[in-house]
Amino acid sequence: MLTNKLAFIMIDGLRYDAAVSEMGFMHHLVEQGRAARFKVKSELPSLSRPLYEVLLTGTPVIENGIATNQTVRLSHQESLFHLTKKHGLTNATASYYWVSELYNRAPFDKLTDRYQFDGSQPIEKGIFYWEDHYPDSHLFADAHSLLSTYKPDFLYVHSMNVDDDGHRFTGDSAEYRVRVSKADALLATILPVWLKEGYQIVVTADHGMNKDGNHGGTTHDDRDVPLFIISEKINPGIYEDMIPQLQLAPLACHLLDMPPSDKMQPLRIPGTKAPSL
């Protein structure tokens, strides 16, 4: 049955080659004709907070002004959270606290802002964490609690352990690769449940991780990230086309059957089926 609900999972710091080599469950779905895989080229600078804004608003840094990780202010753009509310859809997120600082409250107050359920802000239901080593297992449990309790049309999930291990051990380390495989195992546990609940799935990353345990530059290790899509609106398979990261926000709008913002690019992802009438 065709669905418009979407769980958008962003695995911070997951570079493309590690996803290809270590994510056995996700590639099982590709091999079985259930998922599509693409390579995405991140925007620049390949830093976290700027790319959160790119993913959620579809606007480049030169336009949105979120140029560094130290740019602590609310976004001036229309995000996917704003758009879902505008078009009568519901949203929720389990995310790192910078997402709250972009769309709900800035600066983040650890004593009051971890749980945000009043529905008055662009993010209607939110559970936020602030330690980079906050376990991904707990993060996905937070996300599942939001999904099962509120059944949002748009669920945004942001995990941090891959990025954390990349910074500690570098993107070329055994520890980094093992952490990617652990993220895949978590997806193997949670995605079948969410698919049965009628959710389409997007799994991607903001940026990669280089051999110095860093990111922010222009190399393939810094910028190339995966995109997996499980949806009846996207033909399954492996696509070799390089997808601009600015396409991710209009993709989410397409999957939600929701008009994109005026600032988003037209959707040009191969394998995309025509929108419903």
Q: Give the pLDDT of the chain (277 residues) as one tens digit per residue.
A: 578 999 999 999 999 999 999 999 999 999 999 999 999 999 999 999 999 999 999 999 999 999 999 999 999 999 999 999 999 999 999 999 999 999 999 999 999 999 999 999 999 999 999 999 999 999 999 999 999 999 999 999 999 999 999 999 999 999 999 999 999 999 999 999 999 999 999 999 999 999 999 999 999 999 999 999 999 999 999 999 999 999 999 999 999 999 999 999 999 999 998 765 4
**Residue with token string 């790192």:** 96
Sheet holding 224-230, edge to edge: 115-116, 125-129, 91-96, 154-159, 5-11, 199-204, 224-230, 36-41, 237-244
- HSE-CB of 23 using CA atoms within 13 angstroms: 28
| Angle at CA of residue 10, ends 6 and 15, nearest 5° | 135
Domains along the sequence of the chain with CATH: 5-255 (3.40.720.10)
The reported pTM is 0.97
pLDDT of residue 277: 43
| Residue type at position 180 | V
Helices marked H in 107-255? 136-150, 161-169, 174-196, 220-223, 248-255
For residue 6, the one-letter residue type is L
Task: Name residue 234's beta-bridge partners.
Answer: 272
Q: Is the peptide bond before 45 cis (omega within 30 degrees of 0)?
A: yes
Q: Where are the beta strands (DSSP E) in the chain?
A: 5-11, 36-41, 91-96, 115-116, 125-129, 154-159, 199-204, 224-230, 237-244
The reported pLDDT for the residue numbered 275 is 61
- One DSSP character per residue, 167-182 reads HHH-TTSHHHHHHHHH
Total residue length of the chain: 277
Question: Do 257 and 200 touch, CB atoms closer than 8 A?
Answer: no
**262 CB contacts (<8 Å, ≥6 apart)?**
none
Distance CA 28, CA 23 (A): 9
Sign of the four-CA dihedral 246, 249, 250, 251: positive
Please tell me the chain's helix, strand, coil percentages from 3-state DSSP, rounded to the nearest 5.
Answer: 40, 20, 40
